[in-house]
Chains A and B, each alone.
Chain A
Amino acid sequence: GENVEQHPSTLSVQEGDSAVIKCTYSDSASNYFPWYKQELGKRPQLIIDIRSNVGEKKDQRIAVTLNKTAKHFSLHITETQPEDSAVYFCAARRDSSYKLIFGSGTRLLVRP
């Protein structure tokens, strides 16, 4: 079945450094790839997403890249700040099925 693998499970960076989280998906028909941020005790919230017809998308300090051939996509956070500390989830979905599959999450810690 469909599967999304996410690495690393934990990531610690110094404030101001960059952070990269990587995901690999198994279903080659997947065409929508969102990223969610979950702060402690709160619900996951969408921070950025990308469709399969686009290779890269940026929103201020956050960017996502997609390599359809290799079936992997990555989240890039530049100039990290302590408030970026949270658990980040990648996900994949094909529009025809609505089935939204998540990765196992990455706990990001930004050290002041």
Chain B
Amino acid sequence: DGGITQSPKYLFRKEGQNVTLSCEQNLNHDAMYWYRQDPGQGLRLIYYSQIVNDFQKGDIAEGYSVSREKKESFPLTVTSAQKNPTAFYLCASSSPRGTSTEAFFGQGTRLTVV
């Protein structure tokens, strides 16, 4: 099913708690991305990674952190510093250097902070 898996699908957390969203891909893709989707605001880039042990901030990185210890995994931590964390989070991967540069998305995680 696309080879990129996000878990869980729904996540509820109390305000002030850190929470980690999982993203795993078995497509052997070099690049991985995290986007936040809010109604009417499209897909906003949080972080992206081109290679293991390297990642770059996107447009809305404040209050988030990531790691890329393995090629297959790119977890996102939503920290208590994120002012408005309730949103739909999408992970994607691609292999920009290959013949197919398509980015594949996971099914998303809907995070609700109460």
Contact = CB atoms under 8 A, between A and B. Distances in A.
Q: Categorize the interface residue count of chain A.
A: 20 to 34
B45 A99 contact: yes
Contacts of A1: 59
Contact of B42 (A32, A42, A100, A102): A102
A98 B40 contact: no
A45 interface: yes
Given A43-B107, A43-B108, A46-B102, A100 B50 contact: no
A43 B42 CA distance: 13
A103 B40 CA distance: 10
Interface in B19-62: 30-31, 33, 35, 40-45, 48, 50, 56, 58-59
A95 B96 contact: yes
Contacts of B96: 32, 93, 95, 98
A25 interface: no
Interface in B63-85: none
Interface in A33-54: 34, 42-46, 49
Contact of A89 (B42, B56, B94, B102): B42
Interface in A90-106: 91, 93, 95, 97-105
Contact of B90 (A6, A34, A44, A101): A44
Closest 5 pairs between A and B when the two form their complex, measured CB to CB: A104-B42, A102-B43, A43-B105, A105-B42, A98-B31
